Amino acid sequence: MARARRLAAAGAATAFAVAGVSLAVGLAGPAWAGTDPQVPGTDSACLVHLPLLCDEPSDDSWSGDAEPGDSWSGVPGHSEAPEPDDSWSNPPGHPEVPEPNESWSNAPVPTDSWPAGEQPPWRPAGEDEHRVPKGHPETGGGGLAAGGPVWPFAVGGAALLTGAGLTGFAVRRRKDAG
């Protein structure tokens, strides 16, 4: 009997310790973005009309054909091709690897003018307009992480109740022994 009481007391102490650690993890740990049950799945789709429904003419003034001097890289990860991060194309006659932004203009982004009341014609940005943004995209609102993980509280709560049960058992054994 005494051995069972000691075992129950030890178990209760362990359970309370586990409960404390679990709840501390739940309260202080970082929040992580979960996904599955809330994520838009395959039933999500576009809100806009897809281009298949659009009648905007293509830009015929731009030729996508290869020009003399162009060298198209192969598939990244394959023998004849560079990795995405080392596939900087060298300009003809300049074998050295360029600085990342050396050919990017520092001039202000040009602004177009068009007749009032008319939509500006769409056109792609020319190479002289290309810019490398500063910093990193901020593309999260925290909605998936706001709740935080639940499992530490579940484990902690279960451990608390287990400890309470074992404590009650141990106390009752002690009374019975007395």
Partner 1 sequence: MLGGAVAVSMAGVLLIVLGVGGALGGGGDTATVPAARQSSAPAAPLKELAGIPASKVAKPMRAARPTAVYIPSIGVAAPLMELGLDAKGAIQNPPFDPPNLAGWYRYGPVPGQRGAAVITGHLDTRTGPAAFARLKEVKRGAQVQVLRADRSVAVFVVDKVEHTPKRSFPARKVYGKLGYPGLRLVTCGGAFDRQAHSYEDNTIVYAHLAAPYYPER
Distance CA 108, CA 43 (A): 42
Cα(117)–Cα(71) distance, rounded to whole angstroms? 43
117 vs 137, beta carbon nearer partner 1: 137
Helix axes 2-28, 151-177, angle to 10 degrees: 160
Comparison of 108 and 117: residue with beta carbon closer to partner 1: 108
Measured distance CA(124)–CA(115) in Å, rounded = 19
Distance separating alpha carbons of residues 95 and 88, to the nearest angstrom: 11
Q: How far is the CB of 41 from partner 1 (least distance, A)?
A: 5
Q: Between 111 and 113, whose beta carbon lies closer to partner 1?
A: 111
Q: How far is the CB of 83 from partner 1 (least distance, A)?
A: 8
Please state the closest distance from residue 115 (CB atom) to partner 1, in A.
21
Greatest C-alpha distance within the chain: 100
Residue whose CB is less far from partner 1, 10 or 168: 168
Count Cα neighbours of 133 within 13 Å in the Cβ-side half-sphere. 4
Nearest distance from C-beta of residue 26 to partner 1, angstroms: 12
